[in-house]
Structure 1
Amino acid sequence: MSRIDAVIEDIKKLFKKQPNTIYKVRIVDEVYSGMINIFFEYYKIGYATTSQQIARLEGTYREQIPAIKQQIKHETGLTVTIK
């Protein structure tokens, strides 16, 4: 199992289909630390966003970010943003 497959499994465990709740995954490329963070975020309408870090990848994955985004989106169906 690859590192990205493990991240997708973690996302699937956290994703609970609840009414009036918006779910998304955010990929953050930290330029100064050289790391890539992946967060699972959700919020109910009218409430604050809850964000949970699910992975911290080495900078060697930087070129693979678009492919990682597509794989997560394809396998989970969630919105994925890159910052």
Structure 2
Amino acid sequence: MIYEDELIEEINKRLTKQLNKLYWVRIVYQRFSKMVNVFFEYGEIHSSPTSVQIGEYDGIEKDRMHELGKRIECETDARVEFAGFDK
């Protein structure tokens, strides 16, 4: 839980809320390495986005990631996307 609080603090620090900038968090499950990576991504409209890894979880915590995504959306203004998870 403490790690999740630090992750949300890091996201809030990086949200600078500039005009014409989009912010989102991508949570990616890598099935071969069995790791879950959390990326903070941002970019201006009509340009390629910048991605920075801000967290890493072990694969056994994969099932908790949807709850973490909901918490991130509630406590920050960032949208959350999931990649590599079964639907």
For 2:9 and 2:63, the matched residues in 1 are separated by: 22
In structure 2, the gaps of 5 or more residues are none
What TM-score results when the alignment is normalised by the length of structure 1?
0.94
In structure 1, the gaps of 5 or more residues are none
Structure-1 residue corresponding to 2:45: 45
For 2:79 and 2:31, the matched residues in 1 are separated by: 23
Give how far 1:63 is off.
1.1
What TM-score results when the alignment is normalised by the length of structure 2?
0.90
Aligned length: 83
Corresponding position: 1:57 with 2:52: no
Give how far 1:65 is off.
1.1
Give how far 1:61 is off.
1.2
Structure-1 residue corresponding to 2:66: 66
For 2:2 and 2:69, the matched residues in 1 are separated by: 15
For 2:47 and 2:78, the matched residues in 1 are separated by: 20
What percentage of residue pairs aligned between the two structures are identical?
37
